[in-house]
């Protein structure tokens, strides 16, 4: 049960986010403390849900779109109709 409607939650006190995202993390040495590392997260794709539709007893189903990972050859990669730019690397025999 959601005790407070999501739209009534103040974004300044507690920002509400719902969805999923893809990102990668880089560990860099911290300039202040040489033994520690600073995490930097680079987000490159996000799917956000309409928070007004989040209610008690609701569910969300995500269906993944095709990606470059499914391509096993240059021909499959180049002829695909993906909505983003990927390309085949002949040297590595994989997508980029």
**pLDDT given at position 31:** 76
**pLDDT given at position 84:** 63
**pLDDT given at position 43:** 82
Domain borders along the chain are 1-63, 64-95
**pLDDT given at position 86:** 66
Phi then psi for 20, rounded to 5 degrees? -145, 160
**pLDDT given at position 30:** 77
- Residues belonging to the chain: 96
Tell me the mean pLDDT per 10 residues along the chain, length 96: 85 83 84 79 83 87 74 74 67 65
Handedness of CA 23, 26, 31, 32 (dihedral sign): positive
**pLDDT given at position 61:** 87
C-alpha 7/C-alpha 14 separation (Å) is 11
**pLDDT given at position 20:** 86
């Amino acid at each position: 049960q959601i005790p407070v409607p999501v739209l009534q939650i103040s974004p300044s006190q507690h920002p509400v986010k719902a969805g999923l995202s893809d990102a990668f993390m880089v560990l860099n040495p911290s300039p202040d403390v040489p033994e520690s590392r600073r995490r930097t997260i680079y987000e490159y794709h996000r799917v956000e849900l309409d928070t007004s539709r989040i209610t008690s007893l609701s569910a969300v189903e995500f269906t993944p779109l095709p990606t470059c990972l499914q391509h096993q050859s240059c021909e499959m990669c180049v002829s695909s109709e993906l909505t983003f730019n990927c390309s085949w690397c002949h040297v590595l025999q994989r997508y980029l």
